[in-house]
Amino acid sequence: MKKVMGMLTLMVMMFSTISLAAYPEDLEDIEDVNYDDLIQLISQEPMDESKMIQDDVYALDQDVVIDKIVDGNVYAMGQNVKIEGANIFGNVFVMAEKVEIVNSQIGGSVFAMGETVNFSGSMNDVYVAGNRVNFNQDCSVWRNAKVSGGTINVNGEIGRDFTAFAETLNVAETAKITGKLNYSSDKEGTISENAQIGDVAFEQAEPNNTYQKKTGDYVFDFITIIARTLVIAVIIVFLVKKFKNLYTKENGLSEYLKSIGKGIGVLIVVPVISVLLMISLIGAGLGVSLLAIYIVIVYLATSIFAVEVAYRFEKENKAKIIGIAILVSIIVKAISFIPTIGGTIVFLTSLIGLGTLFDMIFKKVKNEAIDGE
């Protein structure tokens, strides 16, 4: 739970900094940048303009590959996302189990979330959250890198500062950090004496017993999911009268597929709208509010899914509906601990939950039964 909330918090930080993300040309006014150690401007690279996509790219699939010239931003989500041999003039927003940026040049900044994230090529700023994050030897970050992860390996070049919140930090002899290395961990990182670093600042995190921490986290996670589902179930059961008529048990599969599609739409469209509002002059406050609401509903999506499943088995007995919903949420949480497949299943339940919320707000239900209570 803490990791999920940490990633969502970082995601807010990612989107809120979009208006500050600069392009490589902005560096021309900065005197302390050593251009000999940085990549060439993307605009100076030979390109076949006939293969250029002059628009933003939105990609959602199990396996996503971006290998084009993109004169715009890239938004990608899937199980595996690979950006290979691409030239992207805008920013890159990517969320996947495995993220790879290989031999690509990105004029804007990279905002990435994933279990494993690998960087090579060049980019402006980097904001990333992942269990294992690798800045490979042929990776060049023009400006700053801010990373939250389990194991972070640095082998490439960072033009300014590198900030990390890590369980394990490894800085190889090939690494070059022109600015300052700021990192927080429960133990000092492994930093090669041959690494070129302007300055190092280490903050000791509070030590903990790994076994107790994990056990406590598991207990806390299950208590939290039960409490969260209980609250959501009570609200829906007693306040949303039309919910019980949204779906039928007989049409489960087709309705779930439709909900997944709607959930994908909510997952992609709402952040995009929020970003556009935030970078506008008159809608910044509304954009931040919309993004905050978005984070809350994503956090609650699995609980909404659990209530939706409960209603397929029971329509009238409120106590039974709430009990089934809690049981379903516990099962989903247990499944989440299964390697690889667990994360995929939980992701799908979240999409269904988002789609269900969409229907709860916008779908008109015929012959809606309203209790007289």
Q: How far apart are CA 124 and CA 24, in angstroms?
A: 7
Q: Which two tokens stand for residue 29?
A: 């006014």
User: What was the pLDDT predicted at 25?
Assistant: 37
Confidence of residue 315 (pLDDT cuts 50, 70, 90): confident
Is pLDDT of 223 > 60?
yes
User: What was the pLDDT predicted at 204?
Assistant: 85
Cα distances from 246 to residues 53, 207, 288, 372, in angstroms, run 41, 49, 31, 19
Confidence of residue 244 (pLDDT cuts 50, 70, 90): confident
For the ranges 44-48, 113-117, 232-236, the maximum mean pLDDT occurs at 232-236
Mean predicted lDDT score pLDDT of the chain? 78
User: What was the pLDDT predicted at 257?
Assistant: 84
User: What was the pLDDT predicted at 15?
Assistant: 38
Confidence of residue 340 (pLDDT cuts 50, 70, 90): low
Average pLDDT over residues 43-56: 68
User: What was the pLDDT predicted at 206?
Assistant: 65
User: What was the pLDDT predicted at 215?
Assistant: 52
> Domain limits of the chain?
2-204, 210-362
User: What was the pLDDT predicted at 279?
Assistant: 72
User: What was the pLDDT predicted at 255?
Assistant: 81
Is pLDDT of 251 > 70?
no
Tell me: the pLDDT tens digits for 101-142? Answer: 999 999 988 988 778 899 999 999 998 888 899 999 999 999
**Which is higher by pLDDT, 14 or 159?**
159
Q: How far apart are CA 191 and CA 342, in angstroms?
A: 35
Among 195-209, 262-276, 282-296, the minimum mean pLDDT is found in 282-296
**Which is higher by pLDDT, 349 or 207?**
349
Average pLDDT over residues 205-209: 59
User: What was the pLDDT predicted at 114?
Assistant: 79
Average pLDDT over residues 204-228: 66
User: What was the pLDDT predicted at 45?
Assistant: 53
User: What was the pLDDT predicted at 182?
Assistant: 94
Average pLDDT over residues 266-272: 85
Confidence of residue 346 (pLDDT cuts 50, 70, 90): confident
Q: Which two tokens stand for residue 212?
A: 């107790």
| Spatial CA neighbour of 135 closest among 173, 194, 175 | 175
Confidence of residue 296 (pLDDT cuts 50, 70, 90): confident
Is pLDDT of 332 > 60?
yes
For the ranges 7-11, 228-232, 246-250, 293-297, the maximum mean pLDDT occurs at 228-232
Q: Strand pairing of 63-66 and 52-53?
A: unpaired
- Asked if 113 and 93 touch (Cβ cutoff 8 Å), the reply is no
Instruction: Render 23-88 in DSSP notation, one character per residue.
Output: -GGGGGG-TT--GGGSPPPGGGS---GGGEE-S-EEEESSEEEE-SEESS-EEEEEEEEEEES-EE
**Which is higher by pLDDT, 95 or 187?**
187
User: What was the pLDDT predicted at 342?
Assistant: 72
Confidence of residue 143 (pLDDT cuts 50, 70, 90): very high
Average pLDDT over residues 45-63: 73
